[in-house]
Structure 1
Amino acid sequence: MKRSRKKQQMTVYLDPDLFKAVSDTATRRRQSGSLVVETALSVFFSPEEGTGQAALTRRLDRVDKRLSRLERDTGITVETLAQFIRFWMIMTPALPETSAAAARAQAAERYDGFIEALERRLATGRRLYEDVLPPDAQVSAKDTF
């Protein structure tokens, strides 16, 4: 009676660079090249929302990309605000005391207008960096939170 083996043998041909990468990984981890390739293939064929270390790694990679985008967006926001404040302080002269009350009233009116414009902008879902950055540096809506 013939006994079947648990694993089956397959011969594959690899690109020399890929073969070297598999060999180096196997040597570094003190494992066989066969085990390295088997692990890589099981990760490749595992379902996207599966369980285990491969799925966790994919999810962590997505979170890392999102955090990187968030960090970039925050940096753009902070830099924009800092540049605006600097420009405003350089360009705005001090008001004489006699016109300060009228200026405060006008500032309150302009602030209300700013808030309305901000609400309209936020309602569109469009971001400032989409207008500022070149198209090849922009992120699509599906890449954001």
Structure 2
Amino acid sequence: MTFRIDAHLARQLSERARSRRVSQTEVLEAALASMLTPDQEERVEAVLTKRLDRISRQLERLEWHVELSNEAFAIFVRFWLTSNAPLPDEAMRAAQATGKKRYQAFVESLARRMEAGPKLREEVEG
């Protein structure tokens, strides 16, 4: 049989066949078989259910990590506020200059850790 298909679809077909290392005929046959199978709706539902389950697990992990971050930050702030007395006005300018340098070092350290690790998650779950 000979069929004519849109140029865009022909490119997609060619790319899919190349990426899967199969012939274009095999890709077309699989697509037609899938489309003509009566239980197509059930397969689509199964695929969607599987994807939704995966997304749900990812969201649960994300929620756990956000909660961990919030708790760690809250503990740090509480500790810092209770262990550091306010500075007198005459020492404030020097403290601010030192604070800027320390903050820059913190940001650089954070960037290195985000790139290379180890991550807090690994230390906590470790």
Normalising by structure 2, what TM-score?
0.63
What is residue 16 of structure 1 aligned with on the other side? none
Aligned residue among 111, 121, 139 for 2:113: 121
Q: Which has the higher helix share?
A: 2
Q: Provide the C-alpha distance between the structure 1 equivalents of 2:47 and 2:117, rounded to a whole number of angstroms.
A: 31
CA shift for structure 1 position 126: 3.7
List runs of 5+ in structure 2 lacking aligned partners: 1-41
Q: What does residue range 1-145 of structure 1 map to in structure 2 within 5 Å? A: 51-133=43-125, 135=126
Q: Provide the C-alpha distance between the structure 2 equivalents of 1:125 and 1:57, rounded to a whole number of angstroms.
A: 34
Q: Deviations over 1:61-118 (max 9, x none)?
A: 1000000000000000011111111111001111111111100000000000000100
Spell out structure 1 runs of 4+ moving beyond 6 A.
Answer: none
Q: Secondary structure at the match of 1:104?
A: helix
CA shift for structure 1 position 132: 2.2
Q: Provide the C-alpha distance between the structure 2 equivalents of 1:126 and 1:66, rounded to a whole number of angstroms.
A: 21
Q: Provide the C-alpha distance between the structure 1 equivalents of 2:45 and 2:124, rounded to a whole number of angstroms.
A: 39
Amino acid of the structure 2 residue aligned with 1:80: A
| Matched-pair identity in % | 39
Q: Provide the C-alpha distance between the structure 1 equivalents of 2:61 and 2:117, rounded to a whole number of angstroms.
A: 16
CA shift for structure 1 position 124: 1.1
CA shift for structure 1 position 128: 0.7
List runs of 5+ in structure 1 lacking aligned partners: 1-49, 136-145
Higher relative contact order (CA 8 A, sep 6+): 1
RMSD (CA atoms): 1.5
Deviates more, 1:58-67 or 1:121-130: 121-130
The count of residues paired between Structure 1 and Structure 2 equals 85
